[in-house]
Structure 1
Amino acid sequence: MSEPQYAPPPPPAPAAAVEQPGRTLGIVAIVFAIIMPVVGLILAIVAKVQSKRAGVKNTPSTVALTLSIIFIVLGIIVAIIVAAVGAAAAAALLQQCATLGTGIHDVNGVTITCN
């Protein structure tokens, strides 16, 4: 009698992906950090809390948190600059009207109406 032929064992099944709480939300937060930084900041904080509760590290939420803070600070700086330039322009216009007096004036091809 011949010995029975055995087939080699099948390869092991791939390991199931480990779900990391807050990771997907962290990735979404990165997108929102660029588009709407305040929303991105909120989502990043929520993702960070979810990950911390599960005891896992969440790099996307850290990146989103950092980007959100950077974009919020840049937005505040731009708003301050725009407000300062607008205030300076308004002051210059008021000074021009004080010099010219009331009425409609044409200065270098620009019509200025002073009340």
Structure 2
Amino acid sequence: MTIPGPGQPQSPDPYGQQPSGQEPYGGQPYTQGPSGHQPYEQPAGGPGSQNPGKTLGIVGLVLSILGCTALIGIVVSVIGLVKSRKAGLGNGLAWAGIIIGVLWLVIGGIGLATGVGGLMDKCSELGPGTHQVDGVTYTCP
């Protein structure tokens, strides 16, 4: 190997390495995926990003499943879903919390309406006052 003098062009690196600070392949950085064949794509939100609404989605789902806290679960799930959407991410757990909470509210509403309807029928049958029937106390207006 000869050392070029002043004004002479330098020969490329004999070992085939890129000069420091330059990207190979025409200035485009090259990344390989896990298989070594496909380019690696970053998930939405950038590398290392986390879903800001994931925890709220989980909490909302648990509250919705409990039934008696379904309304609170729906609210928490909606907040989690909104936070996830602002970050450009999905949140299936928040959706599940919303759906299950709404189902519990519908079932609870039907149960409440049925119970009130049954009580109204029993009171119309018994009349006003307090009544004991089969160990159950009914207080009718």
Q: If the TM-score is normalised by the length of the shorter chain, which range does it land in?
A: 0.5 to 0.7
Question: Which residue does 1:87 correspond to in 2?
Answer: 120
- Look up the SS of the partner of 1:55 in the other structure: coil
> Tell me, which stretches of 5 or more residues in structure 2 are unaligned?
1-46, 134-141
Question: Which residue does 1:8 correspond to in 2?
Answer: none
Quote the Cα distance in structure 1 between the aligned partners of 2:117 and 2:50. Answer: 49
Shift >3 Å, 4+ stretches: none
Give TM-score, length-normalised by structure 2: 0.54
Question: Which residue does 1:33 correspond to in 2?
Answer: 64
Aligned residues between the structures: 81
Root-mean-square deviation (CA, aligned residues, Å) is 1.8
Higher normalized helix content (fraction of residues) = 1
Give TM-score, length-normalised by structure 1: 0.66
**Correspondences of 1:1-115 after superposition (within 5 Å):** 18-35=49-66, 36-94=69-127
> Which structure has the larger Rg?
2
Residue 18 of structure 1: CA displacement? 3.8
Higher relative contact order (CA 8 A, sep 6+): 1
- Look up the SS of the partner of 2:72 in the other structure: helix
> Tell me, which stretches of 5 or more residues in structure 1 are unaligned?
1-15, 98-106, 108-115
- Look up the SS of the partner of 1:19 in the other structure: coil
